[in-house]
Structures are given as structure tokens and as C-alpha cells.
Amino acid sequence: MEAQKKTLGEFIIENQYEFKNSSGELSRIFNSMKLAAKVVSYKVKKAGLIDIIGGVGDKNIQGEDQQKLDVYANEVFIETLINREIVCGIVSEENDDFITVQGNDKANNNKYVLLMDPLDGSSNIDVNVSVGTIFSVYARISKRGTPVTLEDFLQPGTRQVAAGYIIYGTSTMLVYTTGHGVNGFTLNPAIGTFYLSHPKIKFPVDGSIYSVNEGNYVHFSQGVKNYIKYCQMQEGNRPYTSRYIGSLVSDIHRNMLKGGVYLYPTSTKTTNGKLRLLYECNPMAFIIEQAGGKASNGHSRILEIKPTSLHERVPFYAGSVNMVEKVEEFIAMANKETMC
């Protein structure tokens, strides 16, 4: 019964201790993200009926075609945050540079910056398949009261104070962490309220799902190719099941609930992988680790990488601890063999 479940708003108030040193700012960021999520969710659910499907004819800084919904979601999240003057700066996948939130004089006194992928899984919009939003929050390094600087955004993922994702699937969910575990809230669209539906999410230590765009197989390194063959071998609980949606949020969400591994490797086509460190890999890695999983670039922890630019890409191997460690073993083994 929903009446017995906690709402996201109640949960945030009850767990204020998680936000110590934030004097209400972090709660207000969550309130804004929650509000914008409802607006985007409403639009996504009507996507087939209104003029929101398809491209806008522009490319973003990364040379990718922008979809109407990419642009719409970007505007909704940015405007919601700017109008409430609760962050001092924003980075978005859809904007070349960081945004300095100016507003009135008080604006730059805000403590936090927010980085986001406003619409993840754009290629799925037109075909009625789950998409998502990813966000990450850091305390600024530069002095309050001054304009934000690039350095405020180029912090390693270990310094995140909060991260979350919204999944627009069969239902809309908001899942987040502030470094005290992971909780998931499901939207009741009739009344516009998120309820705590998935408390204390735990990533299974092992699993039987592997998620990778296997169409790129010929472009993968020998280690990754060997691991994929290992997943398909008949032994113990293998062959594993292959599941790949093509929306990072949805692929990770499923694997976190069921147990599995997600791979977006380097390849001869994409030498640094495809996924972006700051607003895709870091927030997802923070959530994954907080749920007891692991996120790696093939040999090191994603969260410890020192970013060098806003839109940089990294290879991403994430999911159940035992499975990610196995991928790392295969990569290390193949690297050793090529060196011999």
C-alpha cells in the first residue's frame, strides 16, 4: 500500500544527517531534480503523441546527433536548477562548456556544482524503449562568492557528495546515493509522488547476465574477446544470459537488481570507449559501489581517475564484484601475453 510507504520528500527529511554541512542545499537540489524528472517523465510518456520524437538537426560537442528529447530534457533540468539558484555551476552532455549560474548576487554563494547526462539512451527514444537521466553533485573547490572554475568540475569521482539516476521505464524511478547506501523511489504518475519502493539496494556479488554491444566484437581487444567467449562457455552457471538495451541507466539498473556485468570497452573504433567519465561513469560508479558492486576502467577504480576535460571518455566495466574482477583478469592476462 502506497500510504504505508515513505515518499521521497519524507525520506530526505528523515535522513538529513546524511547531508551534514550542507545546510539544506543538497535537499533543495534533490527537490529540483525530482520536480524536473516529473516534467520529463510526463513528456517521455507522451512521446509518440506529440512532436518530440526525432532529431533537431544539430550535433553536440561530441559530434552526436541531438534528439528533440535530449534538448528538451536538458532545458528542463537546467532551467529548474537555475531558477531556484541552488547550484553555482552546471555541466551537461549537451553543452560544450560549463554553465556559471549567475542569477542575483547570492547565486555564486552556492556550494554545489551539478553534472548531468539529461537524456541517456537517446537512440531508444523513437522506439519506445527505456531512457534515463544521470546526475552527479560535488562541493565546489573555488571560493564561494566567486564564479565557478573548470577545476570545480574536474574532481575525481571519490569526491562526489551525491549521485543519482532517473529511469523512464515501465515505471519512472529515481535512484540515488549520498554515500550511505542506495535507495530507489517509484513515481506514482497519477499523483506525482515518488515512493520508496527499493530500500537499501544491494548489487549481487555474482550474476549471470553480461551486457555489451557485441556488434563491436571484432573491434575489441583480445582480453575482452576472451572474456565474452568465457561468458558463452558451458560450465557452472555459464553460458550467461546476454542482455543489452543500449541505455546505460537501464542496463545498469537491471544488472544491479538481478546481478550482472556491463562492458563498454575500448575498441579500434573508440580508443577511449564511448561513455563519458564525468556525467555517466562517475555517478553510476558511485551508485554501483554504494550498492556493493564494482566499477573499473579495466584495471583501476573509475572513481579515482583524475579528470582532465569535461567530456572525456573512459572504458567502463561495471557490475557484480566477482564478474568485474573476472573481466579485469582477462584483460590483464591478454596484456601480459602481448608483452611476452
Element (H, E) at 70: helix 68-84
Residue position matching grid coordinates 515518499: 7
Site for ligand AHG in 63-122 (CB under 6 A): 64, 93, 117, 120-122
- By CB under 6 A, is residue 302 in contact with ligand AHG? no
Which sign, positive or negative, has the C-alpha torsion 222, 276, 74, 33?
A: positive
- By CB under 5 A, is residue 251 in contact with Mn ion? no
**Rounded least distance, CB 97 to Mn ion, Å:** 17
C-beta of 117 vs 152, nearer to Mn ion: 117
**Rounded least distance, CB 122 to Mn ion, Å:** 6
Q: How many residues bind Mn ion (CB under 5 A)?
A: 4
- By CB under 6 A, is residue 313 in contact with ligand AHG? no
Rule CB under 5 A: choose which of 120, 152, 251, 328 binds Mn ion: 120
**Rounded least distance, CB 67 to ligand AHG, Å:** 8
Q: Residue 236: CB partners within 8 Å, gap ≥ 6?
A: none
- By CB under 6 A, is residue 9 in contact with ligand AHG? no
DSSP strand pairing (172-177 vs 182-188)? antiparallel
C-beta of 186 vs 250, nearer to ligand AHG: 250
Instruction: Report the alpha-carbon distance of residue 227 to residue 319 in Å, rounded.
Output: 15
Rule CB under 5 A: choose which of 117, 152, 289, 328 binds Mn ion: 117
C-beta of 121 vs 184, nearer to ligand AHG: 121
Instruction: Report the alpha-carbon distance of residue 310 to residue 98 in Å, rounded.
Output: 8
Q: In terms of C-beta density within 10 A (0-12 exposed, 13-18 middle, 19 or more buried), how is residue 141 classed?
A: middle
152 binds, among Mn ion, ligand AHG, none (CB under 5 to 8 A by kind): none
Mark 227-246 with x for binding to ligand AHG (rule: CB under 6 A) and - for no binding: -------------------x
C-beta of 13 vs 61, nearer to ligand AHG: 61
C-beta of 19 vs 293, nearer to ligand AHG: 293
Q: What is the largest CA-CA distance in the chain?
A: 64
- By CB under 6 A, is residue 136 in contact with ligand AHG? no
What's the chain's Rg over C-alpha atoms?
Answer: 20
Rule CB under 6 A: choose which of 95, 100, 142, 213 binds ligand AHG: 213
Site for ligand AHG in 248-277 (CB under 6 A): 248, 251, 274
Element (H, E) at 142: none
Q: In terms of C-beta density within 10 A (0-12 exposed, 13-18 middle, 19 or more buried), how is residue 104 classed?
A: exposed
Q: What are phi and psi of 89, to 5 degrees?
A: -160, 155
For 117-140, give one letter per residue: b (16+ CB within 10 A) or e. Answer: bbbbbbebbbeeebbbbbbbbbbb
Residues at the contact surface with ligand AHG, assessed by CB under 6 A: 64, 93, 117, 120-123, 213, 246-248, 251, 274
The residues of the shown chain that bind Mn ion, judged by CB under 5 A, are 93, 117, 119-120
